[in-house]
Amino acid sequence: MPVHARLPLWEDKSPAQKLETLRQLLLDLYGYQLGGARAEALALLETHAPADEKEARDIQRIKELIAAHPNIFSMNCEVGHITASAAIIEPRARRTLLHHHKRLGRWLQVGGHAEYETDLAEVALREAREETGLPDLEHFPSSEVPLPIDYDVHTIPQSGDRPEHLHLDFRYVLATRQPDALAPIAGESTRFRWLSFADALDMDAAIDDSLRRLLRKAFALLPPEQADQ
CATH of residue 92's domain is 3.90.79.10
Q: What is the number of other CB atoms lying within 10 angstroms of the CB of residue 152? A: 22
Q: Which domain holds residue 192?
A: 79-227
Amino acid at 144: E
Domain-embedded: residue 47: no
Domain-embedded: residue 114: yes
Domain-embedded: residue 147: yes
Omega of the bond prior to 223 within 30 degrees of 0, cis?
no
User: Contact at 8 Å (CB) between 84 and 114?
Assistant: yes
Domain-embedded: residue 19: no
Output the average pLDDT for the chain. 92
The rounded distance, in Å, linking the Cα atoms of 42 and 40 is: 5
Domain-embedded: residue 66: no
Q: What integer is the mean pLDDT of 7-27?
A: 93
The rounded distance, in Å, linking the Cα atoms of 194 and 215 is: 13
Domain-embedded: residue 100: yes
Residues present in the chain in total: 229
The residues, ordered by sequence, that sit 6+ positions from 165 with a Cβ below 8 Å of its Cβ are: 78, 79, 80, 81, 155, 156
Domain-embedded: residue 206: yes
Indicate whether 26 pLDDT > 80. yes
Band of residue 5 on the pLDDT scale cut at 50, 70, 90: confident
Look at 54 and 223; give whichever has higher pLDDT.
54
pLDDT of residue 12: 94
Q: What integer is the mean pLDDT of 71-81?
A: 94
Domain-embedded: residue 160: yes
What is the total count of domains within the chain? 1
Under DSSP, the state recorded for 178 is -
Question: Helix, strand or coil for residue 87?
Answer: strand
Q: What is the number of other CB atoms lying within 10 angstroms of the CB of residue 202? A: 12
- Quote the pTM value: 0.91
Q: What integer is the mean pLDDT of 107-127?
A: 94
Q: Classify residue 137 by burial, with Cβ atoms within 10 Å: 0-12, 13-18, 19+.
A: buried
Indicate whether 229 pLDDT > 50. no
DSSP per residue, 125-175: HHHHHHHH--TT-EESS-SSS---SEEEEEEEPPBTTBPPEEEEEEEEEEE
Phi, psi of 153 (to 5 degrees): -115, 125
Q: What integer is the mean pLDDT of 108-129?
A: 95
